[in-house]
């Protein structure tokens, strides 16, 4: 059995702004509340390989891994995967962005399978990802909407 999540949020900002901010991996620590560091290891234009490091968890553990993102600006989609899988057998993420007329709908789909020795199983990780995605998407929404408002006021 594998895990699957799908979460979406509507952001009152132009798609071009949402795309630019959410794909600026080097600045993810300013966008998300969970990442302490984002180090871009390689950037080939449409393909970015990077290391993310989270803030220490309740046990003082700093989780870190390498991921790869492939951007498709024409389709406004991103495919990502963990290169260093950690407790996952695999972790694949699909992001899509859609113009809603008055903003942008951003959707994250995650497909994964936990290793047998992982501290949680697929069901528990599904619950954890769904809970955390809602929190992080709300943070991203608020931060991007503030930027959009500032840009609108300055133009």
Distance CA 114, CA 77 (A): 25
Q: What pLDDT was estimated at residue 61?
A: 86
Give this prediction's pTM. 0.94
User: Which structural domain, as residue segments, surrounds residue 11?
Assistant: 3-154
Please tell me the total count of domains within the chain: 1
What CATH number is given to the structural domain containing 121?
Answer: 3.30.530.20
Inter-residue long-range contacts of 95-100, CB under 8 Å, 24+ positions, other chains counted: 95/22, 97/15, 97/18, 97/19, 98/15, 99/15, 100/10
pLDDT band of 8, cuts 50, 70, 90? very high
**33-57 pLDDT per residue, tens:** 999 999 999 999 899 999 999 999 8
User: Are residues 78 and 94 in contact, defined by beta-carbon separation less than 8 angstroms?
Assistant: yes
């Amino acid at each position: 059995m594998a895990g699957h999540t799908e979460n979406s949020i509507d952001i009152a900002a132009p798609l071009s702004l949402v795309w630019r901010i959410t794909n600026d991996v080097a600045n993810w620590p300013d966008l998300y509340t969970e990442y302490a560091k984002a180090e871009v290891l390689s950037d080939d234009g449409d393909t970015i390989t990077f290391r993310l490091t989270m803030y220490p968890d309740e046990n003082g553990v700093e989780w870190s891994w390498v991921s790869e993102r492939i951007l498709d600006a024409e389709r406004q989609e991103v495919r990502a995967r963990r290169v260093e899988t950690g407790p996952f057998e695999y972790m694949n993420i699909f992001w899509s962005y859609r113009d809603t007329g008055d903003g942008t709908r951003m959707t994250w789909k995650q497909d994964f399978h936990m290793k047998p020795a992982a501290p949680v199983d697929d069901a528990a990780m599904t619950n954890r990802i769904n809970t955390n995605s809602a929190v992080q998407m709300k943070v991203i929404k608020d931060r991007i909407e503030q930027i959009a408002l500032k840009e609108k006021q300055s133009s």
